[in-house]
Structure 1
Amino acid sequence: PPPPEYLPLSGGLYRDCLIHDFDMLRWVTGREVETVYATGSDAGPPMFREAGDVSTAAAVLTLSDGVVATATATRLNGAGYDVRMELAGELDQIAAGLDDRTPIASTEPQGPPAATKPWPGFLERFAPAYEAELAAFVSVLLGERPNPCDGQEALAALRVAEACEVSRRQGRAVRVAEVR
């Protein structure tokens, strides 16, 4: 878990962590999230409850074409840092972010072994991505390329995160358009 003093500043699990999943979901599918139903638990250490946050969260998201997606996050994975996206469709099922350091183990005797050196946190997990982002940012500042991020994508992901927080607090499905 993060340090207790970080939690009140983090914006909560939906805005701090799941916002990236919402952004990725929109990018991968090319669809907008229209409705969310979210829930969460602060059953972990009291610091989550004291900060008005949850330690574990889940959301069911309905996309503009009717496809249903789920997103989950926890700050309490003692096995290591795990972030991945799984996509299932008529023709295939794939996973992004699944590698030999993913802290997941099979209970099946013939299943893959548990990671021997799991990712300890997001900085280590995404170091190459952060380096690429910084290089692209500098390239934009130097006028070598246009900005690939116009801010609208981030705003759309933030609205989904806000809708999830409203849903969790009010215990109801929320249309993303309600938080505009």
Structure 2
Amino acid sequence: MRIGLAGVGRIGAFHAETLRGLDHVESLVVADADPDRAASVAAKLGGSVTAVETPAELFSAGIDGLAIAAATDAHAGLILEAVEAGLPVFCEKPVAPDVAGTLAVLDQVARSTVPVHIGFQRRFDAGFTAARDAVQSGRLGWVHTLRAGTLDPAPPSAEYIATSGGFFKDCSVHDFDIIRWVTGREVVEVYAVGANRGEDFFREADDIDTSAAVLTLDDDTIALVSGTRYNAAGYDVRLEVLGAKDSVSVGLDDRLPLRSAEPGVAWPAGTAYPNFMERFRAAYIAELTAFTDLVAGKADSPCTVADALEAFYVAEACDRSRREHRPVAVAEVRR
């Protein structure tokens, strides 16, 4: 098959390399808002990878499916254009910068039979998959508590933060999605706080660099979610699922960027993950393989626009809770 890729920045260039290596992808066409960057990526990968001048040209390049890793404000338009052209779509989160834009996309996609896969790569990670299996099988008994966290080793650029949508929508949204996916439950209420002790550009963008939230699920399970842009020890993503019969943890391996204060304890001794791309390398490969199965008509979307909207609602509720210093029911932000 021939795949088009819109956007070859950091994650887009990573996806280009991954797609080129997949068995079912015979050729790849890349485009970017910066044509020179697209040409550079194509030249680096060589062979079956070519570049076109603009993302719009992808639609006349004879592609069978479109992967989107462009800037957030371009996602919705590219998704809708691909759906109108009958092309299966993979798009990095978010679907759109806000709830209204996401709902508009959802409405159009619902009127079509074209599949759309939104990129929440943790659903393809072996640890998160095992945790979901443990919950769904009943091995943990009834789940009473989840503890989730996303800790970046260093903040992104000021330019990125200014257009990111805020900490909950950009970062913690991955935790919100995976909590829904692992438990099979919905979040009904949140209480969230945030702080700024780092760079001034977070405050200038009306954002935060550290957060914590308490989520109540529809069966009264409690989920505690924390995050920060400042975890210099390394990239740390974990999920603990605590049940009445047993408990499991995701991310508790020898590369965990956390040191024990207990005397004589040397674990973990491995080199910490430096970034999300290395931590989730295998998951990204599995995710894009699933997309090629979608293009081939062998599978349904593993993460739909509706799924992405639900995680976005939780993020929206958390942001409102932080600003208004009160618990917020997810129903308050639902439209």
- Work out whether the TM-score is over 0.5: yes
- TM-fit CA distance, 1:29: 1.4
Question: Which residue identity lines up with residue 165 of structure 1 in the other structure?
Answer: D
> Would you say 1:87 and 2:241 are equivalent positions?
yes
Q: Tell me the residue number matched to 1:170.
A: 324
Retained in 2: the 8 A contact 1:105–1:113?
yes
Aligned equivalents of 1:78 and 1:149: distance in 2?
31
Q: Which 4+ runs in 1 deviate beyond 4 A?
A: none
- TM-fit CA distance, 1:141: 1.3
> Would you say 1:122 and 2:245 are equivalent positions?
no
Of 196, 203, 216, the match for 1:42: 196
Aligned equivalents of 1:142 and 1:41: distance in 2?
46
- TM-fit CA distance, 1:61: 0.4
Structure 2 counterparts to residues 1-180 of structure 1, below 5 A = 1-180=155-334
Question: Which residue identity lines up with residue 55 of structure 1 in the other structure?
Answer: D
- TM-fit CA distance, 1:110: 3.5
Q: Deviations over 1:101-158 (max 9, x none)?
A: 1101110013343444111111111111111111111221122222222322111111
Aligned equivalents of 2:300 and 2:185: distance in 1?
24
Root-mean-square deviation (CA), in Å? Answer: 1.3
Q: Tell me the residue number matched to 2:48.
A: none
- Secondary structure at the residue paired with 2:203? helix
Question: Which residue identity lines up with residue 107 of structure 1 in the other structure?
Answer: A
**Please, which runs of 5 or more residues in structure 2 have no aligned partner?**
1-154
Retained in 1: the 8 A contact 2:193–2:211?
yes
Aligned equivalents of 1:153 and 1:112: distance in 2?
41
Identity of aligned residues (%): 53
- Secondary structure at the residue paired with 1:10? coil
Moved more, 129-138 or 71-80: 129-138
Question: Which residue identity lines up with residue 319 of structure 2 in the other structure?
Answer: E
- Secondary structure at the residue paired with 2:274? coil
Question: Which residue identity lines up with residue 169 of structure 1 in the other structure?
Answer: R
Aligned equivalents of 2:304 and 2:199: distance in 1?
38
Per the normalisation by structure 2, the TM-score is 0.52
- Secondary structure at the residue paired with 1:28? helix
